[in-house]
Amino acid sequence: MTKKTYTIGVIAPSLPSEGKRKEKVQAAIAHLEKSGHTVLTGKSAYAITGYKSASAQERAAELLTFLTDPSVDMIVATTGGYNSNEILEFLDLSKIAPTQKTFVGYSDCTTLSMAFQRYNVCSSVCGPMLVDYVDYPECFERLFSALDGTPRLLTNESESWESSEKGRFSMAPMRRLTNKNSSGVGSALAANLSTLCLMLGTPYLPSFSERVLFLEYDREEQTALPSVERFLWQLRQNGALQNLAGLVFGALQPSVAAEETDTDTIERILGEVTAEYTYPVIYNAQFGHIYPSWVIVNGQETRISEDGLSVSLSVR
């Protein structure tokens, strides 16, 4: 079988590519081109405007160019960071015709991913960005494999890492809350927890009803576990957790997990925030700001198995 190749538009919706980040982006582009893909690098990819790549208007215009270019199959972010939500103000998403393109990114890119689903602009994938390639060379092969529509079983691997500098750690198995339903089915919705909370009350969120919500958290504060808890309560109090088909929470980074005590644990937090809700709740999943990380194609049918130790994705 001939391997499918893509024309990929590269954007920097958040942080600029400078220093080691720029080197990682360049290495990823070289790898993709060597693999037969065509890479169209936007001006924002190497632009620097303070702690952002470019102005919100410039980033929006570049993104719109790729969204409307019929030769582009996929749009991939260089990295995450902060402030990609500014772009939405300058995109009239309701006037963009639906496309067959795929947008790929995670972390701060949650804002774009959610908005594209809300307005049916294109499909979106919570998957690798260009900066991930150096630390996780298999990331793009896993992305392309996830896009072929073949049902996949998502399980934890034996080890994980945050970067080559920090070394590897053993990956504990997924766990579940025992007082919930043992299985569930719904369509996937994957997001970064703190970024998703930024979008509450805006017109850019899709429906949460009957979704299997995949959430991951990246440490932003010196003391992180209380922030995880307050973000989850913000979701609950906005009704986002009420009508889910399931909840899958990604593994905490080692420095965040180290904050857990006998009484303050992610298990306790998830149990309290989903009290009264009967859908299955899985935690410590291999998803988030760790490598390897599951690739989640938003909208794909998702089944949480009765044993609670696996999650499967398939095309409806």
Number of other CB atoms surrounding residue 152 within 10 Å: 18
The residue assigned the tokens 């809350």 is 177
pLDDT of residue 316: 42
Residue whose pair of structure tokens reads 């180290």 in the numeric block = 258
Break the chain into its structural domains and give their ranges: 7-146, 152-314
pLDDT of 313 reads 66
pTM: 0.95
CATH of domain 7-146: 3.40.50.10740
Measuring CA to CA, which residue among 128, 123, 116 is closest to residue 149? Answer: 123
Query: For each of the chain's 316 residues, which pLDDT tens digit applies?
Result: 568 999 999 999 999 999 999 999 999 999 999 999 999 999 999 999 999 999 999 999 999 999 999 999 999 999 999 999 999 999 999 899 999 999 999 999 999 999 999 999 999 999 999 999 999 999 999 999 999 878 888 999 999 998 877 888 899 999 999 999 989 999 999 999 999 999 999 999 999 999 999 999 998 888 899 999 999 999 999 999 999 999 999 999 888 888 889 999 999 999 999 999 999 999 999 999 999 999 999 999 999 987 655 677 664 4
- Distances, alpha carbon 49 to alpha carbons 54, 61, 302, in Å: 5, 16, 40
285 has which bridge partners? 250
Architecture of domain 152-314: 3-Layer(bba) Sandwich (3.50)
Cα–chain center distance at 32: 20
